[in-house]
Amino acid sequence: MRTAKLFIYLLGLILISPFSLFASDDEVPNTKDESEFVAKRIALISTFRQLSPVTADWQKGILEAIRKNYEGPVEFEIEYLDLIHNNDPMYLRGWIDLLSMKYSQKPADVIVPLYFPSLTFLLTNRNRIFENVPIVFCSVPESFAKYTASKYDITGVGFEFDFEGTFDLIEKLRPETRRIIYLCGVSEQDTFLRNVVMSEQRKSQRKLSIDFWEGLTIPEVRSKLAKLESNTAVIVLSMDKDRLGNHYTTYEFVQSVADASTAPIYSLYDTLLGSGVVGGSMVSPYYQGKMTGELVAMHLQGVPIKELPVRNGGAPRIAFEMPLLKKYNLRASSLPPGTELLNRQQTLWEQYGRYVATIISILVLQTLIIVSLLVNRTKRIKAEKEARMLAGKILSSIEDERRYLARELHDDVSQRLAATAIATGNLENKTPDQDQLKPALTKLKEQLISICDDLHHMSHRMHPSSLDDIGLPEALRTECLSLGERSRMTIEYSVQEPLDSIPNDASLCLYSVAQESLWNSAKHSGSKRVSVRLYSDSEFAYLDIADDGCGFDLSSEKVTSGLGLASMKERMRLVSGHLKLQTSPGNGVSIQAMVPIASANP
């Protein structure tokens, strides 16, 4: 009966936003059957629409484990479903059709639902989307995990919150605790977790007063937290929506209220560490993801799903933030052996106070003299450093905004247009051929598809997700192929094999220089051929770009006052790199970018 209710619980809720990550092994000579080199397609079906911290932990663990334990090429598809906030049946039908179409030509080899709402959705619509595709679920309540695995011949990783373990820790840290407050929202997901807690409390023999703060806004929670007595502890459940309909991630909500609390705040999962919770006996979404990825890798290596038993999420992680233990006067010595104490920092004064005091008293006179001589120099260095930091922050802010806008265009606007295109296509198919509206519907559908393509290229131009997913060499290769097709310009790309490891900030810098240079060649130079070469030595990575276009005068006002060249030089300066530009009218353009990589390759 309880399982049936769980199926009904999220049956009508779905919004999907596809986003693809690709990862494949290096190319090797084709000495085996070609089928061994066909990438396995793995679809991760996320309960949430956005990449929340807990979803990021699951995905990180899954991808790391698969790449570590499976040597073949793998193609990842990540579908973000809004099963918590969206319950419109029309969206449900539209996205089911979209998924069916997306995977009709190339079906997934394994489906990985993240959290139990996405598993419920898959089991309900499996025959319409992923018929007969193996399912390996991640982070599903253990009782539900075992039931579905026995009924549907699937497997995965289950979990249970360690309520009793957390209560033990609370009593060890503050024995006078008599009241527990659970902080939760009012979404269906929040309500489900509250009901789980209430069920667990009925089993508990502890003499504790239990209160639920449900759906309070941030100002309301801050006000109430500031008035708590010393015999109270707070436990965070889930905060997806407050009573006014505002949506959050639980991490963001806790981060906004924790500093106001006069009582320690505990967590049941370690994703909230760093948001203001003191700690607890917690499940680890990242570790659950690793266990799920190991099961997927075993199946890809040939082990049938039915031979892979459901795994438990593992022993709880007992961890605490040392600064917060001190803030609430909680003694770390009361915690059990093996407890992780995070951010435990001991000042130099605490370690060597007496010795430092003696040395300081001896050096004071000398220091005063030296300081008087260095004041002017220090001010100048500080001013230069602040200027560099400001320039770096401006570029970082611009990059963050471009990343955000690119993600919104790709994950939101583009998908809405795709859904509209599908709806228009369905309407076109239902319209009789003799109907005068049918040509207009056909044209409208084609325009919508064209706009989707343009948005995709625009989002990639603003911030290339492939740079994070497949690395600089392959990202540059993709950019060259894409621009070559669109501009009808021949782009010759070569990369040194093997290429030394390049830091992320240096990779982004080189990619931005290449992108700006190639687009300038396509738009202004009139060149028909461009060469791009990426190589490295033990200390530096190099990017050479040359075209056979019209060139330009480096001393012209248009060039010296333009933002493109200035932006490239500033990016290179921030990574301690160097940009060399050679050109003259009629002689093409040659650019060499050089960035240090010695620290990444000790």
Give the model's pLDDT for residue 10.
35
Confidence tier at 348 by pLDDT (50, 70, 90)? low
Please tell me whether residue 383 adopts helix, strand or coil conformation. Answer: helix
Give the model's pLDDT for residue 221.
96
Is 466-600 the same fold as 2-159?
no
pLDDT, mean of residues 315-340: 93
pTM of the entire structure?
Answer: 0.54
Give the domain ranges of the chain. 2-159, 163-282+315-342, 351-460, 466-600
Q: pLDDT (tens digit, 9 = 90+) per residue, 441-479?
A: 777 777 777 777 666 666 555 656 557 667 888 888 888
Q: pLDDT (tens digit, 9 = 90+) per residue, 115-166?
A: 988 898 888 888 888 888 999 999 998 888 999 998 888 999 999 999 999 9
Confidence tier at 1 by pLDDT (50, 70, 90)? very low
Cβ–Cβ under 8 Å, residues 428 and 447? no
354: tokens are 């007496």
In which order are the strands placed within the sheet that holds 578-583?
Answer: 490-495, 529-536, 540-547, 589-596, 578-583
Confidence tier at 188 by pLDDT (50, 70, 90)? confident
Residue 510 has pLDDT above 90, yes or no: no
d(CA 539, CA 597): 5
Q: Which of 453, 114, 155, 125 is nearest to 299 (CA)?
A: 155
Pick 60 or 22 by higher pLDDT. 60
Q: pLDDT (tens digit, 9 = 90+) per residue, 73-103?
A: 999 998 888 777 776 777 777 778 888 888 8
Q: SS3 for 161-178, per residue?
A: CCHHHHHHHHHHHCCCCC
Q: pLDDT (tens digit, 9 = 90+) per residue, 245-282?
A: 998 889 999 999 999 999 999 999 999 999 999 999 99
Pick 24 or 102 by higher pLDDT. 102
* Cα of 446 vs its chain's centroid, Å: 33
Q: Write down the residue that tokens 């325009």 correspond to.
A: 447
Q: Is the CATH number of domain 163-282+315-342 3.30.479.30?
A: no
Confidence tier at 211 by pLDDT (50, 70, 90)? very high
Residue 588 has pLDDT above 80, yes or no: yes
> Per CATH, which fold does 466-600 belong to?
Heat Shock Protein 90 (3.30.565)
Residue 29 has pLDDT above 60, yes or no: no
Give the range among 320-324, 351-355, 491-495 with minimum mean pLDDT: 351-355
> Per CATH, which fold does 2-159 belong to?
Rossmann fold (3.40.50)
Confidence tier at 484 by pLDDT (50, 70, 90)? confident
Residue 292 has pLDDT above 80, yes or no: yes
Please report how many Cα atoms fall inside a 13 Å half-sphere around the Cα of residue 127, on the Cβ side: 2
